[in-house]
Amino acid sequence: MFFVLKTMAFHLYFIRRLLFVIPTLFGITLAAFVIANAIPADPITANLPQSALNNQEIVDAFRERWGLDEPAHTQYLTYLKNLLRGDLGVSIKTKRPVADDIRQFLPATIELATAGIISGILIGVSVGIVAAVWRNSLADYVARVFALVGVSFPVFLLALALLQLFYVEFGLTSGPGRLDVRMAKPVARTGLFTIDALLSGDWDTFRNAVSHLILPGLVLGIYVSGIIARITRSSMLEVLGMDYIRTARGKGLRERAVITRHALSNASIPIVTVIGLSYGSLLSGAVLTESIFAWPGIGRYMFRAATSQDFPAIMGVSILIAFIYVGVNFVVDILYYFLDPRIRNP
């Protein structure tokens, strides 16, 4: 009975969350549309060659083909109607359905963002714990400077420095791209090269894909580790001052158990929140990192869409990013449920 009530509460919660998504997404489409129409940009000059611009017939045909001859509100309503059927329209630049484009570019970004958040957690949480446990020591000071350096270094400088050091000088990792040029792509199942290679038991490809992931993953990891370290430090400090930590120490627990089991698990809520937000920002496309590492992800697609005034693609990506944030927040909320017994049994 208790269980049924609880799952019902969970279902209600789930449905309410889903309902909240609708106005957000509606707002995003409207925002994207208003802004796309307000900026004095002309997709015609951005996408037709100079020779075609002089030919009125071609210009008219282009305008009609992409619905640019309709009034703005008609364009928007048509867009919404298509969106409800899962149709994001056709990209002006690639001439392919935006949904197909996203399906093609998103896996590369998911793979990179995941590598980035894993290294970000490893670096950020450990630096944060060290800083909190040895508060006001040299280690704390170094950790604090590290966190500030992490957010101050331009991503592109970090990327270039790591490439120069680990790829050019020492040859420890692979360079730009997702795989060596000589490598064949693994059979596409998920689009994530590492997973696909594992699924088909192709160890060479797997190793190669991982070695291509290390540097861009590390760049993004360092980038997000600053804020993760900062939050870990401050929430650990708060918890370490609690009575139950003194009790745990008093009953003779080893310091390691006190810190990992008692302190860290109680400090985890803010840490998980900031990790979720960081993952969201990495998933929404790291334009600079992707462009330096020639990574064919959402960031590159977005950059191309924005610079060529490709409105359907711009709107598609904006909606995708809104979805990503809503999804990440949702997962974070579910994690709270598991991490904090007070949320489970109020």
Partner 1 sequence: MVVAGIVMLVVWTLAGLLAPVIAPVDPLQQDVMRRLEPPSNVHYFGTDELGRDILSRVLYGTRITIPAGLLVIVIGCTLGLFMGAIAGFVGGIWDEVIMRLSELFMAFPTIILALAVTAALGPDLKNAVIALVIVWWPSYARLIRGLVMEVKTREFVEGARSIGASSPYILFRTVLPNCISSAIVLATLDIGNAILSIAGLSFLGLGPDPTSPEWGRMVSIGIDFFDQWWMWLFPGLAIATVVLAFNFIGDGLRDVLDPRMKH
Which x/- pattern over 237-256 shows residues binding partner 1 (rule: CB under 8 A)? xx------------------
Give the residue, chosen from 12, 61, 77, 160, that forms a contact with partner 1 under the rule CB under 8 A: 160
80 in contact with partner 1 (CB under 8 A): no
23 bridge partner residues: none
The least distance separating partner 1 from the CB of residue 27, rounded to whole angstroms, comes to: 5
The least distance separating partner 1 from the CB of residue 329, rounded to whole angstroms, comes to: 14
Which x/- pattern over 203-242 shows residues binding partner 1 (rule: CB under 8 A)? -------------------------------x--xx----
Give the residue, chosen from 138, 152, 182, 342, that forms a contact with partner 1 under the rule CB under 8 A: 152
CA 327 to chain centroid, in Å, comes to 11
Rounded Cα gap, residues 50 and 321, in angstroms: 34
User: Using CB under 8 A, which residues numbered 35 to 74 contact partner 1?
Assistant: 35-36, 39-41, 46
177 in contact with partner 1 (CB under 8 A): no
Which x/- pattern over 1-30 shows residues binding partner 1 (rule: CB under 8 A)? -----------------------x--xx-x
Give the residue, chosen from 192, 292, 328, 332, that forms a contact with partner 1 under the rule CB under 8 A: 292
Which x/- pattern over 106-145 shows residues binding partner 1 (rule: CB under 8 A)? -----------------------------x--------xx
The least distance separating partner 1 from the CB of residue 163, rounded to whole angstroms, comes to: 8
Q: Which stretch binds partner 1 (CB under 8 A): 81-89, 92-100, 149-157, 255-263?
A: 149-157
**Residue with smaller CB distance to partner 1, 155 or 199:** 155
97 bridge partner residues: 90
294 in contact with partner 1 (CB under 8 A): no
Interface residue list for partner 1 (CB under 8 A): 24, 27-28, 30-32, 34-36, 39-41, 46, 135, 144-145, 148-149, 151-157, 160-161, 163-164, 168, 234, 237-238, 284-285, 287-288, 291-292, 302-303, 305-309, 314, 317-318, 321-322
